[in-house]
């Protein structure tokens, strides 16, 4: 069993108690939530950290160099944990498992031979995204990545890097009003 607190239109707030140590919250007759008996932070859908940011304008890059993608335009940042002004990084404040998604769009006026993208954790490459090799192409390419990772909620931080290799011409990570190069993440569950 469980101790239950119920909110209804007819009788307001009611409670039934037992000594099981389990607490359940009910709204009306259909919505029931069991509060876990473990220590830590209980999260509900309204307070789980999430962010989405994208590259606001094209970013010039050198060939063959892992370069941080400067996703400087936020679509949302529910916990104010993404720095879109200077570091272009997400620093989760809640320990748990985070889902990250990223996409990189590149172009070169002459030739693209390789494009790749990587999720960095604490300043080092951590999870690789797509890696495409193609020779003699003058069009742009998009590569994506996705990973579920653990963050300690205090010191861990995450960044998005990309690389384009060319033989000549001007290299750019391309922007497109949030549709081309972007970085997103959210808390899937607490630790």
Instruction: Give residue-wise pLDDT tens across range 60-89.
Output: 999 899 999 999 999 999 999 999 999 999
Q: Do 8 and 67 have their domain in common? A: no
Cα 184 to Cα 120: distance, rounded to the nearest angstrom: 13
Higher per-residue pLDDT: 149 or 111: 149
Show the domain range for 165.
47-190
Q: Do 100 and 71 have their domain in common? A: yes
Query: Quick one: pLDDT at residue 80?
Result: 95
Q: Do 28 and 52 have their domain in common? A: no
Cα 144 to Cα 183: distance, rounded to the nearest angstrom: 10
User: What would the two tokens of residue 169 be?
Assistant: 């011409």
Digit-coded pLDDT (tens) for 160-180: 999 988 877 778 899 988 889
**Which element (helix H / strand E) includes 14?**
strand 12-16
The total domain count for the chain is 2
For residue 130, is it within any domain?
yes
Q: Do 65 and 128 have their domain in common? A: yes
Query: Quick one: pLDDT at residue 15?
Result: 78
Q: Do 9 and 52 have their domain in common? A: no
Q: Taking Cα atoms as reference points, which of 141, 143, 155 lies closest to residue 89?
A: 155
For residue 41, is it within any domain?
no
pTM for this prediction: 0.78
Q: Do 59 and 127 have their domain in common? A: yes
Cα dihedral 171, 181, 70, 95, rounded to 10, equals: -140
For residue 42, is it within any domain?
no
Give 15-23's long-range contacts (Cβ < 8 A, gap of 24+).
Answer: none
Q: Taking Cα atoms as reference points, which of 59, 77, 56 lies closest to residue 68?
A: 59
**3-class DSSP assignment, residue 64:** coil
């Amino acid at each position: 069993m469980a101790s239950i607190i119920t909110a209804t239109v007819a009788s307001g707030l009611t409670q039934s108690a037992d000594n099981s140590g389990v607490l359940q919250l009910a709204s009306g007759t259909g919505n029931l939530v069991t509060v876990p008996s473990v220590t830590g932070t209980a999260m509900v859908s309204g307070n789980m950290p999430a962010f989405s940011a994208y590259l606001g304008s094209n970013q010039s890059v050198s060939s063959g160099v892992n370069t941080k993608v400067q996703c400087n335009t936020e679509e949302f940042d529910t916990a104010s944990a993404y720095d879109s002004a200077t570091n272009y990084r997400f620093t989760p404040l809640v320990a748990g498992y985070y889902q990250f998604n990223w996409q990189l769009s590149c172009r070169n006026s002459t030739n693209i031979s390789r494009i790749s993208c990587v999720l960095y954790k604490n300043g080092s490459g951590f999870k690789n995204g797509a890696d495409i090799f193609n020779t003699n192409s003058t069009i742009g390419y998009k590569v994506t990545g996705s990973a579920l990772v653990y963050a300690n909620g205090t010191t861990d931080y995450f960044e998005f890097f990309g690389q384009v290799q060319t033989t000549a011409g001007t290299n750019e990570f391309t922007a497109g009003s949030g549709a081309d190069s972007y970085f997103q993440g959210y808390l899937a569950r607490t630790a």
